[in-house]
Structure 1
Amino acid sequence: MTEPTPAESFATPRVAAGVLFFDAEGRILLVRPSYKPGWDLPGGYVEIGETPTQAAAREVQEELGIKPPIGALLVADWAPATGEGDKLLFVFDGGELAAEHLERIELDPAEIAGYAFHDPDLVDTLLIPRLARRIKAAIDARSQAATLYLEHGDPYRGALPN
């Protein structure tokens, strides 16, 4: 058996980007994908040659049919998943969706079965735990005008486990 080269030992994560949008009441926009159960943020995987912000903008346009501005990075989450391998997930600030964008939402039924605005206090009941932690961290980051680094949806506190 040959030893792997250094490059063969490098992580090659799947990279995805989502956007956290709000309405005028401070509720968050969640989409219901048509290809999997549950709620999620608008967004998806980064394609070859794209930046995470380009992927986020493309996915929002594909899923919701709108082109709102994509704001600052709120969280970067190292979140490997069983059966999917290493993943690096970005959440960007979409801010409050303007009325002009809300009026033009047109779902792609191949990707999105529905959307709704939800009170942020409900994310624990609406989402899988890791995604709920990521969204709560993104909301916190937005309130602090900061960017947070997460591992598995939890803020990294600067100390590696034993």
Structure 2
Amino acid sequence: MTTTDDDYATYIAGLPRVLAGAAAIFRDTEGRLLLVEPNYRDTWVLPGGTIESDTGESPRQAARRETIEEIGLDVELGPLLAVDWVHGKARPPLVSYLFDGGVLDAARFAAIRLQEEELLSWRLVHWDEAETLMAEDLRLRVRGALDALERGRGPVELEDGLPPA
């Protein structure tokens, strides 16, 4: 039996869909996290967004591109800290990649220029405040990534923000 291009296209079209996103964790010398306030939700997030797979973009490239677009900083990202499989509820499943954006100095933070179409503001916050500003799924994901960073191990594998059972 020979598989035709049409058969293969039909097969690919029938596969389950998975969304993919990537973000970066930036910190200052005091250990505070950079969060941004989007205009399209009521919780704060990390700089990041959707991976444009149709262009061949990798998760790392997406996190860097989104950082440039959203806050105007072109930072070479450090290691992958976490990969989180987030089960879909009203959407397909999501795989989210978190990269280490590193510790930035005051001059880099002063250079931030927000993407006004999507973001209202940004701020540096300690973890106890950060966890109250983020949605639970992101809070768990960031906590897992920070734990991996603090232990000097990574990346950590997560499912809905928690280590798999």
Alpha-carbon distance in 2 for matches of 1:50, 1:98: 29
List runs of 5+ in structure 2 lacking aligned partners. Answer: 1-9
SS at match of 1:44: strand
Give the CA deviation at 1:7: 5.0
Q: Which amino acid aligns with 1:19?
A: A
| Contact 2:158–2:164, Cα closer than 8 Å, also in 1 | yes
Aligned pair partner of 1:39 in 40, 44, 65: 44
Give the CA deviation at 1:81: 3.1
Alpha-carbon distance in 2 for matches of 1:17, 1:62: 13
Cα RMSD of the aligned pairs, angstroms, is 1.6
Alpha-carbon distance in 1 for matches of 2:106, 2:136: 31
Match of residue 164 from structure 2: 156
| Contact 2:33–2:130, Cα closer than 8 Å, also in 1 | no
Aligned residues: 153
Cα deviation digits, residues 73-108 of structure 1 (max 9, x gap): 000000023222110000000111133421211101
4+ runs of 1 displaced by more than 6 Å? none
Change (3 A) 1:142 1:105: same
Match of residue 106 from structure 2: 99
Match of residue 75 from structure 1: 82
| Contact 1:68–1:101, Cα closer than 8 Å, also in 2 | no
Match of residue 137 from structure 1: 144
How does the TM-score come out when normalised to structure 1?
A: 0.87
Alpha-carbon distance in 2 for matches of 1:34, 1:64: 14
Aligned pair partner of 1:17 in 14, 22, 29: 22
Q: Which amino acid aligns with 1:88?
A: V
Give the CA deviation at 1:121: 2.2
SS at match of 1:130: helix
Pick the structure with more helix per residue: 2
List runs of 5+ in structure 1 lacking aligned partners. Answer: 158-162
Q: Does 1:110 align with 2:128?
A: no
Alpha-carbon distance in 1 for matches of 2:91, 2:105: 36
Aligned pair partner of 2:35 in 15, 30, 34: 30
SS at match of 2:40: coil
Return the index of the structure with the highest Cα Rg: 2
